[in-house]
Every structure is written in structure tokens, then in C-alpha cells.
Amino acid sequence: MKLKYILLSILFSAMTILFVSCFDDLNTTPLDPKLYTADKAYSTPESYMQGLAKLYAALGLSGQSGPASAEIADVDAGTSPFLRTFWYMQEFTTDEVTFTQSDPGCPELSYNTYSTLNNPIISGLYYRLLFTITMCNDYLKQTTDERLNDRGVDDDLKAKIQYYRSETRFLRALMYYHAMDMFGNTPFITENDPIGTYLPPQRSRAELYSFIESELLELSDDPYMTEPKQNEYGRADKAAVWMLLSRLYLNAEVYIQTPKYDECMKYARNVISAGYDLCPNYAELFMADNGENIDARKEMIFTINFDGRWTQSYATQFLVAGSRGPNDPNFTQTSGISKSFKGSRATLTFVRHFYPGIDDFLGTMDEVVDDGNGSLGKYVNTLDNRAIFFTPTCHLPMSKNAGSSTFIYGWPSYKWTNLTREGIPPSYTDENGNVISLTEYPSLDYPLMRLAEAYLNYAEAAVRKSGGTCTDALALEKLNELRHRAKIQAEDLSSFTLDYIFGERSRELYWEAFRRTDLIRFGKYSGNDYTWEFKNGTFPGSAVPKYRELFPIPASDIGANPNLTQNPGYDNAVSNQ
């Protein structure tokens, strides 16, 4: 396909800003037929904050005219938000979730059989990441001292813009991190590169790692990066920088084949010491009013914010509606949302992390069906209140016969909900005094980073550094805090192993888009030493080729840019279907 370099007009509230894209075959057209110059777009003090707000909005929204709008052409609006495509690729490909519906692109993810043939989910995330990077680059171009002086921006606003620029650099590093994690070797462009007919070069995973690390380390010492807990809720601060550094270093052996355990522990410890605290009630972290809940907010480090009235998105709608009980006649009352997709199901492999006795209970039975009164729980012991499942009339284990016509195999998870702590959907009062319930699109904020991850990152780096059983005092203290919140009645840990961390990350962070990266780091994604239902498209599961630890770069981009080389293993698209 022919690469097109298109001028994008991106609407910021009542204004339009001109961008130059290096994307191919997106057929993107200006949202406003008038091509405003950047100087006109940035003509008011408010416009600089509006520009920054657009960058944050790109994490959760698909477009600027409601949930059915899309900024990226040829990609369905429902699967173009960063959060939704990111979640699909991190969860459907793993032992935590199997998606039982046949939506385009989803079976290939659930069966680990994705190819170069432009899977719409993979393409959606790829172009969303690059699109957001391009917007960040343009914002940095438009806010240099030279540009601000030319526009006569006063010193007070200049000082504020320096903070905006630091946040923009963080958002760009975050997008490059996920591009490196998912795709390995990607196109690379910064604010210093030319615009127009410019073919971006491809950078290796190691080169991307070096860039991301350098940016984050600079931001960690940047006086214009807000100190922890001092920024507006939903905006990045130094704790978010440290959290991303901790992730980067935890996975360093995967990315650059060099362990960085001490570095991971250092930045996780920075987060732990920054004044955050665990929310006493785990379930409240994932409710519709988590952004208004003081207890929930004290654990959340960086969030993607949503409001069912003003920021509507299929991203969080899928999280809530995508795993409702197939025979739950009251799903609106139990979810706070009016629609049910019924497609996401917990695998038996995942359920074992919570229910260690389930295999003894199943025995030689082909399947077991709860009698509708929760009887399975009487026989399968769990003392962990993080196990938020809907079990009545759902069958275990999954079978090859699971499909969109029944939705009875596997357990739905009710972890994500559009109900508030009061057990009702969020609402607002209109101009006529009527109370309007917000049940179509959820209002929950997505915790992209929270304190519990810092606990687990520190503990994992500590046990990997020890090379065996670990007794690190801080790690034990924080792991036991997680156990106490989960109401686990067993004695506190006095030591722990890497296997414990593998299970605990699944219990604490399940369905929060960590699992694929975790499986790869633990050496359990490819090969057949560890399998789960439908791994590699078979039941009960078989080996996944190692090359699938990277996703393919969309074939359209490979054909458009001669600087790009496909990831190994995907050279023959037909053979990889």
C-alpha cells in the first residue's frame, strides 16, 4: 500500500490544531475543512491546557464526537481506543481470559494465532500508539521557547507550559514503552525530526529501551515534573515516572537481556515511600465512583479518567459489560450498565490461583455446573476476597464447544462494575430536576498504575535477585499487607518464592492488562511447559512459538515504509494464520 502523509486537524474543544502524520493508508481527513495554522490554534492561554488534555484523552477515547467517532480511519471506533485494544492484547492472549465471541480479530488473540494480515485489534493499538506519539511530538514542537516568544506568551504561562511539556514527554515515553513491549522494533520519531514526506526509521527494542530510560530518568529529576500527589487527579507526576521506570527495569531481561533488579527495586521503593496507601476494600478500586472515593484514590498513582455523561467510551463499557453472567437476569442491577456482551470468561487455569482445591473437586468429571445457589463454593475453598466471580449455572472447565450461542463455559468476573459503593449506578440531575442514571457508558476510572503493583514489582525483583527463597523485609511487609486486605486467614509469609509471586500477581492484578507481559517475563507464554485452555488454538492447550512473544507489525505499514522490517517469524503471512 502507498504511504500517505496527511495533514490532520485535531479538534481541541472549540479549536483545531494542525498535525502532520506519518501513518499509512489511514485516509484521515481534517475534522474541520478549514486548515488552521498552529499559531491560530494556540492563540489563547487556555489552548495550551486544551492541547495537553487532548493527549490524555487519547488514552481512553476513540474520537472527539462520542464513542462511535474515530480519529484513525479504517479502524473501528470500538477497537481504536488505546485502553480497549491494549486490554484485549494483554488479556485475551493469556491464561486469565478467553473470549468466547467471534468478533473480528479476537479469536486469533484468544488462540495465539495472530498473523501479519492486519488483525484489527493489533492494527488498532499499533496506529493508536503511533498516533498519540505524533500528537505528543507536535505539542512539544508548538511549545518551544522560540514558538512561545513569537506568540508573545507571558512568563507566568510559560512556566505552566514547562510542566505541560514534562507531562507530554512522560505520555510519549509511556506510548513508546507499550510499543516496545508489544511490537519490539517500531518506527521512531521525535519533535526534532522533519515533517512532511518523511519516512521514519525503525529502531530496535534495545534502542527504544535506551530512549525511554533516558527520558524517564531526566523526568525523575525534572523540576517541572510535579512531585508525587501534587498534580491534578488523572495527570502524571513523578510517582508515575518512577512506576514506569520500575516496570521497565523489571522487564529489562526481556528487552535488553540484562537484569536490572536493583534499579527496579529502587524506583518501586520510591513509589512505596511517596505517601500512597492501599485502599482497604479491594473491590472499591474498580467501582464507578472510584475517582470520588478517597480510600480508592489514595492507592491510585495514574488513572485514565471516564465519566458516563461526558467521556463516553467503549473501552470501559467492554470491561463492565464484556463479562456478565449468561444466566444472570439482573445484570443491569449487578453491573450498573444496560448492555451485556457476555464474551470474556476466566479460564480454569486462572481460577486455580484462587481455588487451589478445584482439581480435586472436579476429579474425573468432564465438567461441573453450579446448582445456582453457589454450591461450588462449598466444596472449593478460597479465603481470598479478590475472587470476584459469578458462578451460578456456569460450567467448568471450558470445553472446545464453548461459543457465542451459549456463554455457559468459564466463569464471568464481576471485578469491573458501574455501581457505586451504594450499589447503584452513577447519576446526575438535569436542568429540569430529573435524576438521570448513567447506565450506558461506565464512569469508573481505570487505574493504569496503583500502589499494589509497586509492592509486587519490588518483591519480584527481590526474589529474582536472591536466586531462590526470599526473606527481604520490605517485600514481606508489603506482600503481607496485600494478604491482609484480601482477608487471607493463613499465617503471614515469612519467606516467598518466584512461584508465589507468579500466582500473587495474577490474584492481585488480574484483568488489569498485565498478564501477557508477566507470562513472557516468567518464561510461560511460549513453549508448552505452561499451558491453558485454547493456548495455541487447542484444547486443553499446546505450545506457542517463541516468535509470538512479539506481535507482528501490520503488513500495510511494512509495505508502505521501506525502512521497516517485519518481526522474525511473520515473514509468511499466510502460514501464520
Identify which of 197, 190, 163, 194 has the alpha carbon closest to the alpha carbon of residue 175.
Answer: 190
| pLDDT interval class at 22 (50, 70, 90) | very low
Q: Look at residue 168 and tell me if it is in a domain.
A: yes
Phi first, then psi, for residue 411 (nearest 5°) are -95, 130
pLDDT of residue 572: 57
Lowest-confidence range among 161-175, 329-343, 375-389? 375-389
Residue type present at position 1:
M
Cell of 574: 499466510
The predicted-structure confidence for 230-242, as pLDDT tens digits, reads as follows 999 999 999 999 9
Lowest mean pLDDT among 229-238, 399-408, 419-428, 565-574: 399-408
Domain hosting residue 141, numbered range = 7-225
Cell of 364: 474425573
Bond into 397 cis (ω within 30): yes
CATH number at residue 51: 1.25.40.390
* 182 part of a folded domain: yes
Domain assignment present for 155: yes
Distance CA 231, CA 225 (A): 9
**Residue closest to 280 by CA, chosen among 264, 296, 269, 267:** 296
Domain count, the chain: 1
First to last CA, the chain: 20
CA distances from 366 to 195, 390, 399, 540 (A): 60, 20, 9, 12
Summarize pLDDT for 95-137 with one digit per residue, the tens: 999 887 778 888 899 999 998 777 899 999 999 999 999 999 9
Query: Cell triple for residue 387?
Result: 475472587
For residue 2, which phi and psi values (nearest 5 degrees)?
Answer: -85, 130
**Banded model confidence at residue 32, pLDDT cuts 50, 70, 90:** very low
Q: Is 395 inside a domain boundary?
A: no
C-alpha cell belonging to residue 49:
491546557
What does the alpha-carbon distance between residue 368 and residue 63 come to, in Å, rounded to a whole number? 44
Q: By 3-state DSSP, what share of the chain in percent is helix, strand and coil, each rounded to 5?
A: 40, 10, 50
* Domain presence at residue 120: yes
Q: What is the CA radius of gyration of the chain?
A: 23
- Give bridge partners of residue 447 from the DSSP assignment: 303
Q: What percent of the chain has pLDDT over 90?
A: 63
CA distance 89 to 75: 16
Asked, for residue 62, whether it belongs to a domain, the answer is: yes
Within a domain: 569:
no
Helix (H, G, I), strand (E, B) or coil at 473: helix
Does a structural domain hold residue 91?
A: yes
pTM of the model: 0.91
